[in-house]
Structure 1
Amino acid sequence: MRQNPSFAMTDIAELRRLIEANPWMTLVSQTEDGLVASHYAVLLDDERDDLTIVGHMGKPDDMIHGLGERELLVVVQGPHGYISPGWYGGGSQVPTWNFVSAHLSGVPEVLTAEENLVVLEKLVERFESRMPDPRLMWTPPNDPDFVRRLEHGTVGFRLTPTKVVAKRKLSQNKTPEVVETILAELSGDGPYANPSLVAEMRRAHDALADGRRSHS
């Protein structure tokens, strides 16, 4: 992802929020047979306060990716959506796409079976705990043998990225009037209504406004 200083996202807290809110990620590796991509749910490592993530791959994806032996690129995709040139007012304009995304790369550490069990348990708890009657990993009818077989079919990993490229392109280069028009269009009932993108845009532009006030 080509970086643009105007859209760079560097705040660790904001990047952690992006990762936490968008756990379904794309994992990419360069192999002898070319690029390979997989898709898995990934979590922040709750024992760290940086951008370290934990997750797992089902076998044999770990072998295909060369997990632990070569660089892994993890693509985090946040809210995104189409922006019509008609929302910019007069003059020549082109359509574009607003988005928030981060690329985390590095060589991951392969977890032990016990560490992988902990990660699997946390993954299940993260999503299942919202259910009215949660079926957690160790909840019957799951028994220990079943859980161990489940773990044996996966390989856990921990990735502390050595390179992070994150971009928040949310019309920061437009006038406040144009931004409000875009927000109104995205907030309405039109074909490109997008509440999650509206929330990200407001967050980014509020931060810009706070920054301008602090320097005035």
Structure 2
Amino acid sequence: MRHNPIFEQGDPAEIRRLIRENPRATLISHTESGLVASHYPVLLDEEADETDGIVLVSHVGRPDEALHELGRHELLVIIQGPHGYISPGWYDAAPAVPTWNFVAAHLNGTPELLSDEENLRVLDRLVDHFEERMPEPRRLSGTEANAAYAARIAAGTVGFRLRVNRLTAKSKLSQNKPAETVARILGELEGDGPYASPGLAAEMRRVHGVDR
């Protein structure tokens, strides 16, 4: 992403929050055959030492590990948070161009392939992470029968851990606009128009310190 100090996000806590709240990621590898992209959920490795920085865990389904040449070179993980169109009609009468507000992070590192046992633990965590919101969560390895099934399913996946060694994050949320313009944008995003986006509005309120 283009460097822009106004929108740069360098707070590790905010980047971790972005990942927790937006776990579906785009994985991009530059392989001998060219660029390869896949889409998988990722989790923060909450057990990692703080000195390790940001560490991700996830998996890919076979044969994506071969397509990505996983573990042989750097992997780019893109996290996309709330985003949306911002009309110049939400500003004032002065000439203006439309834009797109967004929150995103690009995280780079060379993935470490996990053992079968570690991979199964990561798969358990992934399922638990999303199922915990359900009224009757379905666990991957909750029973003996489930555990046997999980072991068979896990064999079709390859787990990895990625210690992020380089990252770029940006929160482009109208920080360069005056307070009255920000208020109008929030009104539109929280309204019922074609570009309403409550999630994007919530991110803007966080950045601008504006309560509802």
Q: Is the 8 A contact 1:103 1:166 kept in 2?
A: yes
In the alignment, what sits opposite 1:16? 16
Is 1:75 matched up with 2:78? yes
Contact 1:129 1:136 in 2 (8 A): no
Partner of 1:163: 166
Task: Tell me which residue corresponds to 2:2.
Answer: 2
Work out the CA distance in 1 between the residues paired with 2:12 and 2:143. Answer: 39
TM-score by length of 1: 0.93
Kindly state the Cα deviation for residue 143 of structure 1 after the two structures are TM-superposed.
Answer: 3.5
**Preserved contact between residue 110 and residue 157 of structure 1 (Cα < 8 Å):** yes
Contact 2:140 2:147 in 1 (8 A): no
**Structure 2: tracts of 5 or more residues without a match:** none
Q: Distance in 2 between matches of 1:143 and 1:120?
A: 13
Aligned ranges for residues 122-161 of structure 1 at < 5 Å? Answer: 122-140=125-143, 142-161=145-164
Is 1:47 aligned to 2:47, yes or no?
yes
| Secondary structure in structure 2 of the residue aligned to 1:121 | helix
For residue 211 of structure 1, what is the aligned residue in structure 2? Answer: none
Please report the TM-score for the alignment, with normalisation by the length of structure 2: 0.94
Q: Choose which of 88, 91, 98 in structure 2 pairs with 1:88.
A: 91
2:25 corresponds to 1:25: yes
Deviates more, 1:97-106 or 1:127-136: 127-136
Using the TM superposition, give the Cα deviation of residue 172 of structure 1 relative to its aligned residue in structure 2, in angstroms.
Answer: 0.3
**Does 1:65 pair with 2:68?**
yes
- CA deviation string 1:113-148 (max 9, x = no partner): 111111000000001121111110013584333211
Q: Unmatched 5+ residue regions in structure 1?
A: 208-216
Partners of 2:100 and 2:156 in 1: CA distance: 39
User: 2 CA distance for matches of 1:56 and 1:93?
Assistant: 44
Percent identity between matched residues is 58
1:32 CA drift (Å): 1.5
Say what the alpha-carbon RMSD is for the aligned residues: 1.3
Quick one: distance in 2 between partners of 1:162 and 1:2? 19
Q: Which has the higher helix share?
A: 1
